[in-house]
Structures are given as C-alpha cells and as structure tokens.
Amino acid sequence: MKKVLLVVGIRPNFMKGAPLFRELKKTRGIKPILVHTGQHYDYKMSKSFFKALDLPDPDYNLDARSGTHSEQTAKIMLKIEKVFQKERPDMVVLFGDGNTTLAAALAAKKMHFLTAHVEAGLRSFDEEMPEEINRRLTDNISDLLFTPSVDGNKNLKKEGVNSNKILMVGNIMIDSLMEGLKTVTKKEKKILNDYKLTKKSYGLLTLHRPSNVDDKGKLKKIVNGLELVSKRLPLVLPLHPRTKKNLEMYRIKIKGNITITKPLGYIEFVTLMKNARFVLTDSGGIQEETTYLNVPCLTLRDNTERPVTITHGTNKLTNPGNMLKDVDRVLKRKQTVRKNIPLWDGKTAKRISKVFANKLV
C-alpha cells in the first residue's frame, strides 16, 4: 500500500482535505493518513468541522496551537518531522496557505519526500500577507501543483514553474460545499429559526484577518462602518477568537443591529451564507463559496488571491470608507444567475485521486 499523508491544521484545510481523504480511502493500493497539526484547536473551529465533514479522528494530532508565525511554523516542523520519520510517506499532500502548509512542505522536502500542493498558483501579490509568502514558497518546492482555476496556471508559468508539475483540477472547496448542502437542505429551516432569521433578510459578516483586526485604528473604522451598514440590513457576525480578543483589548464595542455569535459549525455557517442577502468578509475561501452559491460578496481587503471571483461578477473588494456605498449597490442590484466556474463541480477530489493512483500505484 502506498502511503499518502494529508496534512491539515486550519478550518479551510479541513474542508479541502475531507473530500480527498474520502476518495483516497476508496482508491485501491493507497492508504491515506490524516495529520492534524492543531493550528486551530478551538472546538468550533476544529473538532466540530471534522464531525460535520465526516472526517475520522486524525491518525496524528500534533497540538501545535498558537504563537507567532515563526514559533508556530517551527513547532509544526519539529513535530511533523517525527511523523515523517515513522511513516515514510510516498506522498505528502498540502492544502491552501496557512503556516501548517509551509511547515509541512519544508519538513517533507528536507527529508526528500514527494509533495503535492492542493490550491496552488493563487496570488494576491501582497507580500505583507503571511499567506502569500506561505503559498509562494510551498509552490516553489512542491512536486505536484493542483490549481483551482486558469489564473493559478498562469501565475505559476510566469514564475517559471515547469508545466509538467501543473494540473488544473478545479476547486476542492466546492466538493465539500456541495456535500454539505445536502445536509443544509434538511436542517435549513431549523437553523434559520434558531437564529430568528428569514431568507435574504440579513447580511453575514466574518472578520479575522490580522491586517483588519490587529490595528486599533483600522478595527475601529471597520466597526463604525458596520454600524452604518446594519442600519440598512441586520448583520450576523460569528466572532473569531482573534477578533474577540482584540476588541476587548482595544475596548471597542460593536454597536448597531448586529447579532454576535460564537464561531459556527460548518453546516450552520453554510446555511447562513446560502440564505444571506450578501456576505461581507476578509476570508479567502468564503469568496469562493459565495461565488458557487451566487451570493453577493464584498471582500474587506485591498487585494485578493482569488480574482476569478471578481471577474465572475459575484465578488468585489471594499474598504471601511466604501462599505456602505457598496452594500447599497448590492441591495439595489437585481441578482442574476451565473454559470459555474469550469471544474468547480464537486469532482476535484476524484481527479486528484486518479493522479495519485497513476503516479504511485
């Protein structure tokens, strides 16, 4: 049996890893091994996602937890090196752009193991983003680069990557989303009732990126802008632990018609996202999910590594000064039905597993 070791550590990793793990379990000659670095360890941001995505308990939980970027990356490298020494994997699979991804990539390559990067080629071209550094370095040293869209291929080729390494397979996040929507259909009414919401009567908000929440002045401007937006439509904010900590530290209070909740489980969140009038976010993956769901998205950032969502017409960059104006445009605009982006069809994990079967078995 060929060992394929899947490394996850944060919420988006779980959503990308789950469909591939399930597909590899069905692939003859391959034994998938699941490693959770413990970068996200809060129950709602970790264990509940394993349950919702039908993932088993990981074969290894490294319990790396928080720290500075260097501390966290170093801890994961030290811990995962021991797993690599024990398992001697035939392939190490990395997802997205968190510290988990870079740490595992570096450790694997220094030990001469083959690596594959799922969601390769995405670029924001903003080197102040830690994620941009992580994904560039991971792409640079990985042996197989699975891209979600055409722009990923173009970026890698411009950087001089050998085209034999690049395979456009589609967006694996959509695999999990499509599977999750089956459960949402059964629980939708109850979840909306639990939060006293009706379809398209509210906006959904997520806020966690350091560039938005670590600076007191920036965070205060965002909160003030959200208060104005909430006069147009009620907002629901599942509060990220980092944002909660900074709001308390800076003594900033969120006012207005904004319902604050704890971090939500996957099915709860997808339900609220699917039925929102719009989503205001600084997350990367949510830009993709809203695109598939055809829910208007306003991204509270200066740039995005997912420009395909903007050219597709479902996403727009915004900032605290333009937030209210952009929300007004969304509320006035008639929604149009758009075709799905090519290969965002729920079959990405199947395509990747076939590559591994051909290469390894």
Tell me: the pLDDT tens digits for 240-271? 999 999 999 999 999 999 999 999 989 999 99
pLDDT interval class at 111 (50, 70, 90): very high
- Band of the pLDDT at 44, cuts 50, 70, 90? low
Q: What was the pLDDT predicted at 257?
A: 97
> For the chain, what are the domain ranges?
2-171+344-360, 176-332
Cα 258 to Cα 343: distance, rounded to the nearest angstrom = 36
CATH code of domain 176-332: 3.40.50.2000
Look at domain 2-171+344-360 and name its CATH class: alpha beta
Q: Indicate the range of 11-25, 53-67, 75-89 predicted with least confidence.
A: 53-67
CA torsion angle for 59, 65, 68, 74 (degrees, to 10)?
-30
Catalytic residue among 36, 40, 117, 208: 208
Helix locations, the chain, DSSP H: 11-25, 47-52, 69-87, 99-110, 130-141, 150-158, 172-194, 210-213, 216-229, 241-249, 266-275, 285-293, 307-311, 323-332, 348-360
Does residue 43 sit in helix, strand or coil?
A: helix
pLDDT in tens, 160-208: 999 999 999 999 999 999 999 999 999 999 999 999 999 999 999 999 9
Check for a shared fold between 2-171+344-360 and 176-332: yes
- As a whole number of angstroms, the longest Cα–Cα distance in the chain is 59
User: Which residues fall within 8 angstroms of residue 121, CB to CB, at 6 or more apart?
Assistant: 139, 145, 147, 148, 151, 152, 153, 154, 155, 156, 166
Q: Is the pLDDT of residue 101 over 90?
A: yes
CA angle 77, 57, 83 (to 5 degrees): 25
pTM score: 0.94
Confidence of residue 210 (pLDDT cuts 50, 70, 90): very high
In the block, which residue shows the tokens 């989303």?
A: 177
Share of the chain above pLDDT 70, in %: 99
Which residue pairs, CB below 8 angstroms and at least 24 apart, start in 327-336?
327/203, 327/229, 327/232, 327/233, 327/278, 327/280, 327/298, 328/232, 330/277, 330/278, 330/296, 330/298, 331/232, 331/233, 331/277, 331/278, 333/296, 335/294, 335/296
> Band of the pLDDT at 339, cuts 50, 70, 90?
confident
Is 208 an active-site residue? yes
